[in-house]
Amino acid sequence: MTRDYQTFLKQQAYIDGQWCLADNAQVLPVYNPFDQSLVGHVPNMGGSETTRAIDAAAAALVSWSKLTALVRADYLLKWHDLILTNKAALATLMTLEQGKPLAEAVGEIEFGASFIRWFAEEGRRTGGDIIPTEKDNLRYLVIKQPIGVVAAITPWNFPTAMLTRKCAPALAAGCTMVIKPSELTPFSALALAALAEQAGIPKGVLNIVMGDAKAIGDVLCGDARVRKLTFTGSTNIGKLLYRQCAGTVKKLSLELGGNAPVLVFDDADLDKAVAQVMAAKFRNSGQTCVCANRIFVQTGIYDRFVAAMTVAVQNLSLGNGLSVPPVLIGPLINEAAITKIQALVDQAVSKGATVVYGGHVDPLGRQFYTPTLIVNADVSMDIAQDEIFGPVAVIYRFETEAQAITWANSVPVGLAAYCFTANIGRTWRVSEQLAFGIVSVNTGLFSNATTPFGGVKESGLGREGSKYGIEDYLDIKYICLDIN
C-alpha cells in the first residue's frame, strides 16, 4: 500500500471529464487542521461553472441511463476496487485535510467503498411490479427509472463516505451527478473523481464543483434539470435548501443534525456500555451527527459509570492524525468549532454542571480541545439542546425508563439513539418509543452499507444505504396497457 497521496492531490474541479479552474481563475486555500499548514488550493467557482456542470450531467444522462444496470455495476465495481487499492494514499490525504486519525481515515475509505459495491449490486435489483388487473382488457405494469440529474452537497466530517453514499445509488440507478463537496475538505472528493475517471466512468456522469457555496447552491436548487438534491449537513442549511428546491419541486434527501441520546439502564453491562459509549462519543473527535450527545444514566449504575468514563476519557491520546504511534483524537475542523464548544461548556458550568476532566482548549494547539467529561448536567442547558460536535461527553442522571424516554424525545431532531440494557422487554419497549430513525442497542457502532441510515423529524428526509437507499434515486412509472 502506498501512502503517496500527491498523485491524488487534484487542485482543479472536474466538469464533463475535464480538470478545470474557475472562470475567474480564483482559488481557495485548504488548511491542515492539525497545524494550519497549507494542503493545497481548489478553484473558487460559482454559478456559471455549476451551470456547465449541469449541462454536462444532463447530456451524459442520455447514454448513462440507457446502459444496463449490469454494465453500470461493472463501472462501479472497478471504481470500488481502485479506491481500495489506493486506500492508504486516500486516507493520508483525508487526514491531511480533515484531521481524523489515520486509522479512522482508512476505516472511512473502506466504509465509503462498501456503498459502491453494495449499490452496484443493488442497482440490478430495482425491478418493478405487475399488478393484478381489475379489467379484462387492461394490464397494469410498474417500472422504475432514474430520476435524472442529481445534485449532491456534502460535509467535511466524512469527506469520502458522505459522497459515495450518494454517488453509488445515484450512478447505479442510472442518474448523473453534480457534486459540491465541503470547501474545507474538497481533496477527498476530487481524488474519488480521479479514480472514477481511471475506472472509465464516462465524462459528464460525475462532475465536481466547489467554491462559493451559496452561489453554487442557488444554481443547483434553481435549475429545473436537476431533479433531485441530496444533502448532508447542518439543519439550518438543510431547511434553506428545502425551501430553495420548492420552486422546481425536486425530490430531496436530507441528512441533517442529530443530538443523539444514550440511555444506560441499571442492568446494562457496565464495561461494554462504557467502551461503546466512548466509541459513539469520541469517534472523529466527536464530529459526527450520530455522536452520543446526551448520555442519560440510571441512578443505580450512575456512580460506577461516571468513574469508568473518567478513566477512559483521561486515557484518550491527542495529536496529529498521521503520527506514529497512532492517536485516538485529532484536531477539530476549525477554530469556530472550538469557540462553539467552549461556549456550550461555559454555559453548562454557569448553570451548575461539573467538569470532571478537561473543559478547555488543549495546550497541543488552537484546534485541539481536551477530551472532556461533564456531570450534573440537566436537559435545560444549551449543551443538551445543541449538537456539541466535539470531544465533550455530558452525563445526566435519570430515575425511570419513562423519564429517560421523555428526555430523549424532547428535541426537534431524531437521527440516532443508543440504549444499553440486558432486559429484552425493555429493549423492545424503548426501541419502539424512541422517536429516532436509528436505535442502536448495546453497541455504539451501527453504520454499514446494508442498513438504512436516516432520521425523523428535523433530522431529515430519506434513507441512505440498504435496499431502501436506491429508491430515492428512482421514479415510479405506471404503464396501463390495453391488450385488445
Binding site for ligand ADP (CB under 6 A): 153-156, 180, 182-183, 213-214, 217, 233-234, 237, 240
Helix (H) or strand (E) holding 191: helix 186-198
Q: How many CB atoms lie within 10 A of CB 198?
A: 12
Q: Of 154 and 298, which CB lies nearer to ligand ADP in the complex structure?
A: 154
Distance CA 74, CA 441 (A): 36
Distance CA 99, CA 92 (A): 10
Q: Which of 255, 387, 419, 464 is catalytic?
A: 255
Q: Of 77 and 237, which CB lies nearer to ligand ADP in the complex structure?
A: 237
Tell me if residue 289 is catalytic.
Answer: yes
The SS3 of residue 438 is: strand
Q: Of 306 and 461, which CB lies nearer to ligand ADP in the complex structure?
A: 461
Q: What is the nearest approach in angstroms of ligand ADP to the Cβ of residue 3?
A: 27
Q: Of 84 and 213, which CB lies nearer to ligand ADP in the complex structure?
A: 213
Q: What is the nearest approach in angstroms of ligand ADP to the Cβ of residue 178?
A: 12
Query: Among 396, 327, 395, 397, which Cα is nearest to 362's?
Result: 327
Q: Of 56 and 184, which CB lies nearer to ligand ADP in the complex structure?
A: 184
Minimal CB distance residue for ligand ADP: 217
Q: Which of 221, 289, 291, 419 is catalytic?
A: 289
Return phi, psi of residue 458, to 5°: -80, 10
Q: What is the nearest approach in angstroms of ligand ADP to the Cβ of residue 198?
A: 25
The SS3 of residue 44 is: coil
Q: What is the nearest approach in angstroms of ligand ADP to the Cβ of residue 246?
A: 15
Distance CA 352, CA 156 (A): 33
Distance CA 67, CA 83 (A): 23
Distance CA 87, CA 105 (A): 9
Distance CA 239, CA 220 (A): 15
Q: What is the nearest approach in angstroms of ligand ADP to the Cβ of residue 386?
A: 12
Tell me if residue 20 is catalytic.
Answer: no
- Cβ density class 6-17: b for 16+ within 10 Å, e for less: eebbbbbbbbbb
List, by residue number, the catalytic residues: 255, 289
